[in-house]
């Protein structure tokens, strides 16, 4: 019976196992590194989402404060609050 093309010479089996084992070890090492990178990127994505959420919250609070200040000043302006005179009065330096 003739050996088929897919049969391996039994004498070369240890060499093939050694080569295959090294390749498998390298592939497993790369898989581990890729998983570590994936975990790092996932945690960084979560961290960035938290930080952006914090910035959004801070921006909304700042806008709310600005609206309150604007509304207060507008109300004072409409009621003739003395601040209105202060804002419209010219400084002595402008008169000279």
C-alpha to C-alpha distance for 46 and 38, rounded to whole angstroms:
12
Domain boundaries, the chain: 15-87
pLDDT, tens digit (0-9, with 9 covering 90-100), for 27-77: 999 999 999 999 999 999 999 999 999 999 999 999 999 999 999 888 887
Of residues 51 and 79, more confidently modeled: 51
C-alpha to C-alpha distance for 86 and 83, rounded to whole angstroms:
5
Q: Tell if the pTM clears 0.85, that is, is over it.
A: no
The mean pLDDT value for 73-92 works out to 71
């Amino acid at each position: 019976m003739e050996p088929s093309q897919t049969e391996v010479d039994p004498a070369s089996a240890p060499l093939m196992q050694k080569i295959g084992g090294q390749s498998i070890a390298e592939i497993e090492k790369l898989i581990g590194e890729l998983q570590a990178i994936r975990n790092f990127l996932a945690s960084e994505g979560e961290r960035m989402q938290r930080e952006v959420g914090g910035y959004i919250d801070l921006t909304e609070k700042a806008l709310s404060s600005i609206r309150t200040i604007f509304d207060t000043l507008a109300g004072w302006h409409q009621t003739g609050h003395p601040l209105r005179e202060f804002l419209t009065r010219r400084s002595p330096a402008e008169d000279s």
